[in-house]
Structure 1
Amino acid sequence: MPLPTGHSLSHRPRRRRERGLAARLTDAGFAAGWHAVRLLPEPVARGLFDRAGRWAARRDGKGTRQLRANLRVVTGGRLSEPELASLTTRAVRSYARYWQEAFRLPALSSERIVAGTEVVGLEHLEKARAGGRPVIMALPHSGNWDAAGVWFIDWLGGPFMTVAERLEPESLYERFVAFRESLGFRVVPLTGGPRPSTEVLREWLGEGGATCLLVDRNLGTGGVPVEFFGRAATLPGGAALLAAQTGAAMVPTVCQFTERGWRLVFSPEVPVAGPGRLKDRVTAAMQSVADSFAASIADRPEDWHMLGRIWTDVPPDLPGPASTPAGR
């Protein structure tokens, strides 16, 4: 018997087509961006993306409202609403700067990126390398981690390995992998690869390699419980588990922007080895990572690009009249 008109099943093929079209348009947009932005003079590209960031802040979409709610937690509720709105605008502009640089990065020389990068706490990284140990750099979504990767490769004298999540469509995922491999990264898929990503990373670290992992995502029941800016959150525990299994030094690393370049802030190694259950050691290590992140993020919150929900009790701000000023 045919389905009644308006039944939800009758819309599924159309919805699939719409999702497929949206995915293809997204991929085409990234392809155009990587090509076109590189052709623009750098001041022009910077200006265009900065204006786009201001526009996105004024538009006050869901991502911006979640970012504002997250920044309210980071700043401890000390800012007035106009001050918080100004900070949110700066944060959205910082995120726009990340994308402008990402599109241009393959055209920038590694010499320029290295020369333009300030480094704080390098002794923590050097100590691990001097001991002949592999290194795991645990990072939040802050600043420009792709530019940081170029600096890492220069300092390491070779590539490091990282993990990429699958994106839709597959062509967009492949485009991001090709982009990061063009910078010298070794990229393994989080899922769907010929071997589990954790197995590949363990092998790489066991041979003395280095890896960079982004670990400030809320994984719900699948993550490690921590306190982050005074609130309960969960973070992926894979970096700490790998450190325990391989003897690698896990070094919290936060990327930030400077006026015309970049800054890397390395914190002391977080120990994972020792007595007690592995689960407890991993949890304690990730709490130390969260504490290190919090200290650096609080110092420059506008460079933390967390437009998603990281605390279960902190939803996006309610929509309302655009209250985000243009910022400075």
Structure 2
Amino acid sequence: MSRAGQLRDRLTDGGYAAGWRAVRVLPEPVARAAFAAGGALAARRGGRGVQQLRANLDVVTAGRLEDDALAELTRRAMQSYARYWMEAFRLPSMRTERLVAASHMPGQEHFEQALAQGRGVVFALPHSGNWDTAGVWLVDFLGGPFLTVAERLRPESLFRRFVAFREGLGMRVVPLTGGERPSSTMLKEWLSAGGTTCLLVDRDLSGAGIPVTFFGRRTTMPGGPALLAAQTGAALLPAVCQFDGDGWRFVVHPPVPVDGPGRLRDRVTAAMQQVADAFATTIAEQPEDWHVLGRIWPEVGPGDRAGAR
């Protein structure tokens, strides 16, 4: 790596480290106000990520919003995204009792039923609300860790920092790539033993995912959650995290079937379509909490409106 690249990596890691330290010592009302203002400022500046978020939200709302209303929704979405980061920086110093008391899980009975049957559970989630807070709730409910997969970040020191952050919250984290053992193998072993895993799947970073229709447009999603459920007998539960006032809501949908006759690939494809449908139903109810600043649909780029095909 070049000297400039090394300097950039050190600055990136140092910036996150400073954020974790500084935001924790701020009074919470001050931190909330500062991050909300920062989210609103980012929305006004309208960088490429904000423009892509605006286009994504235009698809979610089926192009029904006028420009001013879409801009307002984008502002709220950026403030919601800023709240996620504010809470992420503060989570290690927040009391678990407070987080659990301010969280609720509509559809919790689907999760409890799978646990009562002795089955593993695969939660498939989109990038919505605060999934780290949901993780704290889940660790408390299970009385132990669940397993999740972390995408490798640059620099490596930042990746290790995020792994340490989530493991400090009680999660068990394995790298998506570059680990001592393949992450898929570890996930299968964990689920076969009745464990629980949480996987974010609304962005297909590999480009080799399962074709689905999401908010009426074709895209792809990783097929891992459905494949793992089919291979291990685990329950596949779509779940969407949302903010709920000063608290948090984790909406759990009924289990998606992955067994039955037919080819495994066909069953995985059908299951991931049902996951996409479940995501769309709940995201549409509170779209500002869906934090995706990258391209989801190939034909929807930064600044596009939903009417343009």
Partner of 2:141: 155
Provide the rounded CA distance (Å) in 2 between the counterparts of 1:219 and 1:169: 18
Partner of 1:239: 225
Partner of 1:117: 103
**Per-residue displacement from partner, 1:46-81 (whole Å, max 9, x unpaired)?**
111111101100110000000000000000011101
| 1:167 equivalent among 144, 148, 153 | 153
Provide the rounded CA distance (Å) in 2 between the counterparts of 1:114 and 1:167: 29
| 1:284 equivalent among 270, 274, 277 | 270
- Are 2:285 and 1:299 aligned? yes
Alignment of 1:1-328 (within 5 A): 16-219=2-205, 221-317=207-303
Normalised by the length of structure 2, the TM-score is 0.97
CA deviation after TM superposition for structure 1 residue 118, in Å: 2.1
**Per-residue displacement from partner, 1:143-168 (whole Å, max 9, x unpaired)?**
00000000111111211000001111
CA deviation after TM superposition for structure 1 residue 137, in Å: 0.6
- Matched AA of 1:21: L
Equivalent position SS for 1:257: strand
| Structure 1 unmatched runs, 5+ | 1-12, 319-328
CA deviation after TM superposition for structure 1 residue 220, in Å: 6.2
**Per-residue displacement from partner, 1:280-305 (whole Å, max 9, x unpaired)?**
00000000000000000000000000
Equivalent position SS for 2:110: helix
Normalised by the length of structure 1, the TM-score is 0.91
User: Does the CA contact (< 8 Å) of 1:220 and 1:234 recur in 2?
Assistant: no
- Matched AA of 1:200: M
User: Does the CA contact (< 8 Å) of 1:137 and 1:212 recur in 2?
Assistant: yes
CA deviation after TM superposition for structure 1 residue 94, in Å: 0.2
Equivalent position SS for 1:283: helix
Provide the rounded CA distance (Å) in 2 between the counterparts of 1:223 and 1:88: 28
Provide the rounded CA distance (Å) in 1 between the counterparts of 2:216 and 2:6: 41
**Larger radius of gyration, structure 1 or 2?**
1
Equivalent position SS for 1:132: coil
Provide the rounded CA distance (Å) in 1 between the counterparts of 2:267 and 2:163: 33
User: Does the CA contact (< 8 Å) of 1:139 and 1:254 recur in 2?
Assistant: yes
C-alpha spacing 1:32/1:221, structure 2 compared with 1 (3 Å):
closer
Equivalent position SS for 2:220: strand
- Matched AA of 2:233: G
C-alpha spacing 1:220/1:315, structure 2 compared with 1 (3 Å):
farther
CA deviation after TM superposition for structure 1 residue 259, in Å: 1.2
Equivalent position SS for 2:105: strand
C-alpha spacing 1:303/1:111, structure 2 compared with 1 (3 Å):
same
Provide the rounded CA distance (Å) in 2 between the counterparts of 1:235 and 1:282: 11
Provide the rounded CA distance (Å) in 2 between the counterparts of 1:184 and 1:220: 28
RMSD: 1.0
- Matched AA of 1:18: A
Equivalent position SS for 2:178: coil
**Per-residue displacement from partner, 1:167-206 (whole Å, max 9, x unpaired)?**
1110000000000000000000000000000001111111
Provide the rounded CA distance (Å) in 1 between the counterparts of 2:270 and 2:205: 17
After superposing on structure 2, the runs of 4+ consecutive aligned residues of structure 1 that deviate more than 3 Å are none
User: Does the CA contact (< 8 Å) of 1:219 and 1:234 recur in 2?
Assistant: no
Equivalent position SS for 1:163: strand
User: Does the CA contact (< 8 Å) of 1:68 and 1:85 recur in 2?
Assistant: yes
Provide the rounded CA distance (Å) in 2 between the counterparts of 1:178 and 1:238: 24
Provide the rounded CA distance (Å) in 2 between the counterparts of 1:190 and 1:154: 25
Partner of 2:307: none
CA deviation after TM superposition for structure 1 residue 36, in Å: 1.0
CA deviation after TM superposition for structure 1 residue 17, in Å: 3.0
